[in-house]
Amino acid sequence: MKFKILGFAMVLAVFCWFVWWWVAATAQETALNQWLNDRRENGWQAETADISIAGFPNRLDTTLNKPAIADPASGWAWNAPFLSVFQVIYDPTHFIIVWPNSQTIAAPGATATLNAETMRASVVFTPNSRLEVDRASLEIRGATLEGVEGWRASATSWIQHIRRTPDAGPENAYE
């Protein structure tokens, strides 16, 4: 009898974990679609071919395929073959973002291709509804920015970190 109860408890735990993952994945996809819709309602171009979420049972590996974001009023735009966001299911405040090796950026009067061997970031938010950044890191390696007009800029490595300083005032909240 004890083994039946233990077996039932294990099956119930696995089922609950599956439901929790499915709810989190559905919420993530809904939030991304809502963000894209909000941008479109504000006159932006905000598109993606599709949003896929994988990583069961412990991660939410979200990929936006062919994202394109543009603000026609300012002239800024960005598009890429994909954008990936990774998150462990048990820590909804920590995200890892991975950009593709090639993406296009447009600013008023200029369009450029950004190529990089590595371009990724890690962002940790405070656990509240205001989405305040607790700490963040950005790593770019082997990057070149090439304008359609023929100019070129490059960087071997760019690593940047910020973190919240808990005892500082609002003007010095990060170091």
Q: What is the DSSP letter of 174?
A: B
What is the model's pLDDT at position 7? 84
- β-pair partners for 135: 124, 163
Element housing 23 (H / E)? helix 2-41
Tokens of 63: 């990929």
What is the model's pLDDT at position 174? 85
What is the model's pLDDT at position 33? 96
Reference 62, options 79, 80, 86; nearest CA is 86
Taking a C-beta distance cutoff of 8 angstroms, is the pair 47, 64 a contact?
no
**Gap between the Cα atoms of 37 and 84, Å rounded:** 19
Using CB atoms within 10 A of its CB, is residue 104 exposed (0-12), middle (13-18) or buried (19+)? middle
- State yes or no: cis peptide before 100, omega within 30 of 0: no
**Gap between the Cα atoms of 63 and 159, Å rounded:** 24
Cα angle for residues 38, 62, 64 (degrees, 5° grid): 55
Q: What single string gives the DSSP state of each residue in 42-66?
A: TT-EEE-SEEEEE-TTTEEEEEEES
Cα-to-chain-centroid distance, residue 139: 14
What is the model's pLDDT at position 123? 96
What is the model's pLDDT at position 169? 67
Torsion of CA 74, 138, 25, 11, to 10 degrees: 180
What is the model's pLDDT at position 172? 67
Per-residue pLDDT of the chain (175 residues; tens, 9 = 90+): 778 888 888 888 889 999 999 999 999 999 999 999 999 999 999 999 999 999 998 999 999 999 999 999 999 999 999 999 999 988 889 999 999 999 999 999 899 999 999 999 999 998 888 788 899 999 999 999 999 999 999 999 999 999 988 776 666 688 8
